[in-house]
Structure 1
């Protein structure tokens, strides 16, 4: 196994753990975005550029934005 691929797998596992154990929803959205970037890197290393493009669009931009908007709506728009 490629050492760079092994490092990417470890980073993805660590990123997933950080996302799961983050308690505040707004911080969790940010860590979810970073996790999406890590997954994109993994998919590029696995030579799946189409999946990587989808992941960078959805996993690191759209989903964290939706979570932040939902948190803002639930909190009543307070800053």
Structure 2
């Protein structure tokens, strides 16, 4: 395993911990998007461009957007 792959694995581990420890759902959606970008770079380093493209579309854009929309809808119902 190359040094770049080990660095990326470490960053992905730290990023996942940050996402899990973030309390505010809005901030967690943003950190989830950054985590998706870290995973995308990791997959590119591991020479899996098809998986990286899917991760970029789903993990960095669609899932955080769905989380933000859900938070907005549920916070509107609480009032």
- TM-score (normalised: structure 1): 0.95
Q: Which runs of 5+ in 1 are unaligned?
A: none
Q: Which runs of 4+ in 1 moved over 3 A?
A: none
Q: Which runs of 5+ in 2 are unaligned?
A: none
Deviation at 1:75, TM superposition (A): 0.5
RMSD: 0.9
SS state of the match for residue 76, structure 1? helix
| CA distance in 1: counterparts of 2:74 and 2:22, whole angstroms | 18
Deviation at 1:28, TM superposition (A): 0.2
Number of aligned residues: 77
| CA distance in 1: counterparts of 2:15 and 2:26, whole angstroms | 16
- TM-score (normalised: structure 2): 0.95
Deviation at 1:29, TM superposition (A): 0.1
Give the number of the structure whose residues are more often helix, by fraction: 2
SS state of the match for residue 59, structure 2? helix
| CA distance in 1: counterparts of 2:43 and 2:59, whole angstroms | 12
